[in-house]
Structure 1
Amino acid sequence: MTLIALALAALVQTTPVDCTDADHRAFDFWIGDWTVTAVASGTVVADSRIESVAGGCAIQETYHQTVGPGGTPTDYRGHSYSAFDATDGVWRQFYVDSNGSVSAFAGEAVDGAMVLIVDRGEVRQRMTVAPAGNGAVRQTGEVSRDGGRTWSTGYEFLYRPR
């Protein structure tokens, strides 16, 4: 057996994590089939499916945007996996899109919302996903170009059950 195979076998044989606790369930409000609307224009821009995977230990997103900024047609697609990392007590999200962009967010649940940040030095991206009432979820994307001292909103979406 190779060294890599031994290391993988050791990982598989570790004691399973119980993913039913409050930390692991903090992002469950986002699970569903959604119609996504840009808050500023009221235009339906995308569909998104968020589902529980890996025995309830992760959330998988499949996002398909058909209307871009200014109402222009687009075929933008994004996929993510989000999970609570019990080792260091933070939520992590790995996101990749059809433009070839890759983002590794980290964050936490704050007052019922999930706040995830990508730190690229002076430029930071912050995504806040929060219940918005009537079964809807609001997602706000912000950017900071001064290391997190000030933030400007890049987008705001409302996810409604499809």
Structure 2
Amino acid sequence: MSFFAPAILLAVQSAPAAAPSAPPPSPCAAAEFSQFDFWVGEWDVYPNGKDNQVALSKIEKLYAGCAIRENWMPLKGPGGGSLNAYNPATKSWHQTWVGSAPGHVNFDGGFTGEKMVLTGMWAGVNGPGQDALIRMIYSLQPDGSVRQHGEQSTDQGLTWSTNFDFIYKKRKEPIPAK
């Protein structure tokens, strides 16, 4: 056996190195998965038109670009968060919101004319037994801030009224770790 060992060793040593293959593209690399990227960042949140900050919000793109997660941190009261993802099968966006109170809310919608519009039925949003259809409209503002305008309908979408209206302003410093 030792007679063939040098020949085998020579063949192994002289074999050309295989070129490294490129990693496969992310399954979430299509443009639709980036439609909500304007919301990604760390934000100070204010009621629209007012100077009293009400929350911090950290929005991250995760899972190889397949999801966007929000961590909503109000300055007073309990927090919550959402997980957002584009579904190529339905060509729509989905958001699941979970707050500090039990339960969650599911919103569905999509990117229309430079705005992300998500709608869902929020049980008890106006008090026990007082449900409402909530429509959230996210839009990038000329100054780089993001407006989140929430409207509610208690008549299945026939009429709408403002429920909340926030402006997300980019933070100058990172949100402190807790």
TM class, shorter-length: 0.7 to 0.9
Query: Of 34, 37, 43, which aligns to 1:28?
Result: 37
Is the partner of 2:121 in helix, strand or coil? strand
> CA offsets per residue over residues 4-50 of structure 1, 9 Å max, x none?
xxxxxxxxxxxx97312221110000000000001153310000000
Question: Is the 2:61–2:67 contact (alpha carbons within 8 Å) kept by the matching residues of 1?
Answer: yes
Match of 1:130 in 2: 139
Could you list the runs of 5+ residues in structure 2 that have no partner in the other structure? 1-24, 124-130, 172-178
In 1: Cα distance, 2:141 partner to 2:37 partner = 14
Match of 1:80 in 2: 82
**1:135, distance to aligned residue in structure 2 (A):** 1.3
**1:76, distance to aligned residue in structure 2 (A):** 2.0
Match of 1:108 in 2: 110
In 2: Cα distance, 1:158 partner to 1:101 partner = 26
State TM-score, norm by structure 1: 0.81
In 2: Cα distance, 1:17 partner to 1:87 partner = 17
Percent identity of equivalent pairs: 36
Q: Measured at CA, do residues 120 and 44 of structure 1 come closer, stay the same or move farther in structure 2, by a change above 3 Å?
A: closer
Is the partner of 1:146 in helix, strand or coil? coil
**1:120, distance to aligned residue in structure 2 (A):** 6.0
In 2: Cα distance, 1:98 partner to 1:86 partner = 30
Question: Is the 1:127–1:141 contact (alpha carbons within 8 Å) kept by the matching residues of 2?
Answer: yes
In 2: Cα distance, 1:48 partner to 1:80 partner = 11
Aligned partner of 1:23: which letter?
E
State TM-score, norm by structure 2: 0.74
Could you list the runs of 5+ residues in structure 1 that have no partner in the other structure? 1-15, 67-73
Q: Measured at CA, do residues 120 and 41 of structure 1 come closer, stay the same or move farther in structure 2, by a change above 3 Å?
A: closer
Larger displacement relative to structure 2 (94-103 or 45-54): 94-103
Question: Is the 1:40–1:156 contact (alpha carbons within 8 Å) kept by the matching residues of 2?
Answer: no
When you count helix as a share of all residues, which structure comes out higher?
A: 1
In 2: Cα distance, 1:76 partner to 1:134 partner = 29
When you count strand as a share of all residues, which structure comes out higher?
A: 1
Number of equivalent positions: 140
Question: Is the 2:26–2:64 contact (alpha carbons within 8 Å) kept by the matching residues of 1?
Answer: no
Aligned partner of 2:156: which letter?
G
Aligned partner of 2:39: which letter?
W
> CA offsets per residue over residues 55-106 of structure 1, 9 Å max, x none?
111001001111xxxxxxx222011100001111110000100122410000
Please tell me whether Structure 1 or Structure 2 has the larger radius of gyration of its CA atoms. 2
Is the partner of 1:124 in helix, strand or coil? strand
